[in-house]
């Protein structure tokens, strides 16, 4: 697996994380847009580095 597969895994994690967060987020004390950005960054990095270091 190369960098291309690692990036694909990061994007898949990003899509799942953002979709689940968007569906379950309620209006509270936080901005939904800020929450989605934070989840997008963390889920992409999680998926990417999990794939990268699992070799």
18-41: per-residue pLDDT in tens?
A: 999 999 887 778 888 999 999 999
What pLDDT sits at residue 25?
85
Give the predicted TM-score (pTM) of the model: 0.85
The yes-or-no verdict on residue 1 having pLDDT over 70 is no
What pLDDT sits at residue 31?
86
CA proximity to 50, closest of 18, 1, 6: 6
Distance CA 31, CA 52 (A): 32
For the four alpha carbons of 8, 47, 18 and 34, in that order, the dihedral sign comes to negative
Domain range summary for the chain, segments of one domain joined by + = 3-53
């Amino acid at each position: 697996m190369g960098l291309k597969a690692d990036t694909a895994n990061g994007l898949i994690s990003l899509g799942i994380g953002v979709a689940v967060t968007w569906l379950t987020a309620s209006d509270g004390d936080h901005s939904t847009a800020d929450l989605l950005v934070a989840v997008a960054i963390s889920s992409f990095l999680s998926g990417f580095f999990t794939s990268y270091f699992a070799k």
